[in-house]
Chain A
């Protein structure tokens, strides 16, 4: 099976802009979780989707949002970008058991 894919892999944006990141889970996986990784805050949970429904959301401002489509693909959106949003954004898919499979991530740089 193909692994989790994320696009784009790298992105440079300017403060105030918005960005959309995409994640395609492993075939058959219905749960997609998103994480933000920064040197200062480490790996932090953003939100999780299952069957197009957001089941849980981390402690992030409303500028961070996401959605999941009927084919389980997921997108996350960050509006009004701030310098502090520069990070590696990781998505992970799961078949509903405990192990999560991570994608390679999208490296976002905000200037």
Chain B
């Protein structure tokens, strides 16, 4: 079946540090890939997405590139801020399916001033 694997957390960084959160997936066909973010006390929000190989999703300074050869969708940001502190989930929807999302476990990011 489909699955998403995220690196173990939590992650603690200083403000302005470089961020990479690894995500790999297993799926048949050509899935769409997503990063969702959950800020403290809030619901899940879409951060960015990519729907085909080599697509790059970007938003709020975050980027992730759909790499089919390595089945990866790593999230990066060049300079994190305290306001980026949240839980980040990598997810996919499989083609031909009903668009249900398959999520990774999530990783907690804490950015200290």
Partners in one complex: no
**B interface residue numbers (CB < 8 A to A):** none
**A interface residue numbers (CB < 8 A to B):** none
